[in-house]
Amino acid sequence: LAAPNTFAGEALDRAGPQRSDEAWLAARRADPQTRVVAASESGVLVAGERLRLLAVDELPDDLELVLLGVDGDGRALFAADPGDAFPGERRGLRDLAPVLSQADGGLVAHAVALLNWHRRHGFCANCGARSESREAGHTRRCPACGAEHHPRTDPVVIMLVTDGDRALLGRQASWPTGRYSALAGFVEPGESLEEAVAREVREEAGVQVADVRYRSSQPWPFPSSLMLGFAARWAGGEPAVRDDELEDVGWFTRTAILGGDVMLPPPTAIARRLIDEWLGDDKAPVATGGLAVR
Ligand SMILES: [Zn+2]
């Protein structure tokens, strides 16, 4: 099995059955070994290039703790948002990703995704009353109408469309100059992942695809996405900008990409992995005059 993508690979038992065990939770909160990943809107609490894990008693008494799980030493880990006024050095998740271990990247993505959800879902989506955290922060319950709300994970498909020796890449206007990447978009209600891949490529580039194949996935807590990576084969249409999503879209040959003609996404992004997998696949058919031949 290939290594997990950045922000996956957390080395915790998520302790699902314990989330509703109030006695167990109280004992873990009181345990001096228990640690807390602290993150506020401006970033994750760090000490240089390492996560700064806090003891429970370093945080305000009334702060809500969200259970992340139990590590290999039997130590419970929670997440909490002590607010931007809490003292300490902070770093953003994108900034931290390249310097953290695989497991710590997964841990911090888990913490940030859950805290993002609580921060943005304080009110019941059904009736508008203030909701309350339950099950150690894994649901929110509305005391007015009784609705239960679960943490959001928003699926995003990201796909590298290739045609023999060339790959379809696009760029958004807000990206650094020269940066191109695989196309991506949110899955819509009532749509399969394969349909989302085909629709996004058609909408963004005017291109038809075939052979949509799942590759790997990546938690992407900005604020709550799950990136689902696919490879797809070009089946028709010449790429052109179709909507406001992209500033430019087009074909890039292996030679051009390997020669540095295009700035690729950072190695922490699944888009880069999709591109690197394709670049390393010498079994791919070679294109001649736009037609793929084996
Ligand atoms: Zn409600």
**What separation in Å is there between the alpha carbon of 15 and the centre of ligand 1?**
28
User: Is the pLDDT confidence value at 294 over 80?
Assistant: no
Strands (E), 135-206: 139-141, 148-149, 154-163, 166-171, 183-186
**What separation in Å is there between the alpha carbon of 188 and the centre of ligand 1?**
25
CB 83 within 8 A of CB 64: no
Would you state the structure tokens that stand for residue 222, as one six-digit string?
Answer: 């900005």
Report the DSSP beta bridge partners of residue 13: 70
Residues 203-207 have a mean pLDDT of: 97
User: Would you state the pLDDT for residue 282?
Assistant: 55
CA dist 62 and 67 (Å) reads 15
**What separation in Å is there between the alpha carbon of 154 and the centre of ligand 1?**
22
**What separation in Å is there between the alpha carbon of 28 and the centre of ligand 1?**
30
User: Would you state the pLDDT for residue 115?
Assistant: 98
User: Would you state the pLDDT for residue 121?
Assistant: 97
User: Would you state the pLDDT for residue 288?
Assistant: 37
Q: What percent of the chain has pLDDT over 70?
A: 95
- Label residue 289 by pLDDT band (50, 70, 90): very low
Rg (Cα) of the chain, in Å, rounded?
A: 22
Would you state the structure tokens that stand for residue 224, as one six-digit string?
Answer: 């709550």
- Label residue 287 by pLDDT band (50, 70, 90): very low
User: Is the pLDDT confidence value at 17 over 90?
Assistant: yes
Mean pLDDT computed over every residue of the chain: 94
What is the enclosing helix (H) or strand (E) of 85?
none
**What separation in Å is there between the alpha carbon of 127 and the centre of ligand 1?**
4
Question: Could you tell me how far CA 170 lies from the centroid of its own chain?
Answer: 20
User: Would you state the pLDDT for residue 33?
Assistant: 98
**What separation in Å is there between the alpha carbon of 117 and the centre of ligand 1?**
17
- Label residue 1 by pLDDT band (50, 70, 90): low
Residues 192-196 have a mean pLDDT of: 98
CA dist 85 and 40 (Å) reads 9
Identify whether 265 is preceded by a cis peptide bond (ω within 30 of 0).
no
Please list the alpha-helical segments (H only) found in 76-229.
Answer: 93-96, 102-120, 193-205
Question: Could you tell me how far CA 11 lies from the centroid of its own chain?
Answer: 17
User: Is the pLDDT confidence value at 86 over 50?
Assistant: yes
CA dist 133 and 214 (Å) reads 35
238-262 pLDDT, tens digit each: 999 988 889 999 999 999 999 998 9
> Checking DSSP bridges between strand 35-40 and strand 76-80, what pairing results, if any?
parallel
CA dihedral 216, 220, 224, 227 (to 10 degrees): -30
Residues 56-74 have a mean pLDDT of: 96
Q: What does pTM read for this prediction?
A: 0.91
100-155 pLDDT, tens digit each: 999 999 999 999 999 999 999 999 999 999 999 999 999 999 999 999 999 999 99
**What separation in Å is there between the alpha carbon of 96 and the centre of ligand 1?**
37
User: Is the pLDDT confidence value at 51 over 90?
Assistant: yes
**What separation in Å is there between the alpha carbon of 119 and the centre of ligand 1?**
17
Residues 235-239 have a mean pLDDT of: 97
DSSP string covering 30-79 = H-TT-EEEEEETTEEEEETTEE-EEEGGGS-TT---EEEEE-TTS-EEEE
**What separation in Å is there between the alpha carbon of 133 and the centre of ligand 1?**
13
Task: Please state the length of the chain.
Answer: 294
- Label residue 286 by pLDDT band (50, 70, 90): very low
Exposure of 30 by Cβ count < 10 A (0-12 exposed, 13-18 middle, 19+ buried)? exposed
- Label residue 192 by pLDDT band (50, 70, 90): very high
> Checking DSSP bridges between strand 225-236 and strand 248-253, what pairing results, if any?
unpaired
Token pair 């070009």 is found at: 234
Q: How far is CA 233 from CA 50, 207, 237, in A?
A: 41, 10, 12
The CA-CA-CA angle for residues 50, 34, 3, to 5°, reads: 50
Q: In three state form, how does the secondary structure of 226-272 look?
A: EEEEEEEEEEECCCCCCCCCCCEEEEEEHHHHHCCCCECCCCCCHHH
**What separation in Å is there between the alpha carbon of 131 and the centre of ligand 1?**
7
Report the DSSP beta bridge partners of residue 230: 159, 214
**What separation in Å is there between the alpha carbon of 130 and the centre of ligand 1?**
8
Residues 7-20 have a mean pLDDT of: 96
